[in-house]
Amino acid sequence: MNKYELAVVVNANIEDDERAATVDKAKAYIERFGGTITNVDEWGKKKLAYEIQKMSEAFYYFIQFDAEADVPAQLEENMRIMDNVLRYLCVRQDEA
């Protein structure tokens, strides 16, 4: 098992329950593909470095999880088509 971190940038113009459902859906994808979530950090609403889809602010979430090497590719396939997700990035964390 490798350690990974998924960064998700969620649309700020949606209701709180929709935003929570979007994050829960991302967590469900991780668990469906055999990953184990270890931590979820919510950074809240932040200003974007540049406008994305005419939005200047978004909510940031960082989800740490343990999974096999093929899980990030499967996860990104599903994150790509999710509504309300402006950007995402899944990276492997080094064992330091």
**Using one digit for the tens of pLDDT, what is the confidence trace for 5-18?**
999 999 999 998 99
57: CATH: 3.30.70.60
In a domain, 74, yes or no: no
pLDDT interval class at 47 (50, 70, 90): very high
> CB atoms < 10 A from the CB of 26, how many?
22
pTM assigned to the model: 0.89
Taking the C-alpha atoms of residue 30 and residue 90, their distance in angstroms, rounded to an integer, is 11
Give the whole-angstrom CA distance, residue 64 versus residue 46. 20
Sign for the pseudo-dihedral over CA of 13, 11, 35, 41: negative
Q: Please tell me which residue, 19 or 96, carries the higher pLDDT value.
A: 19
Does any domain span residue 6? yes
Q: Is 62 within the bounds of a domain? A: yes
On whether residue 39 sits in a domain, the answer given is yes
Pairing of strands 85-92, 36-52: unpaired
- Which pLDDT score, from 0 to 100, does residue 94 have? 81
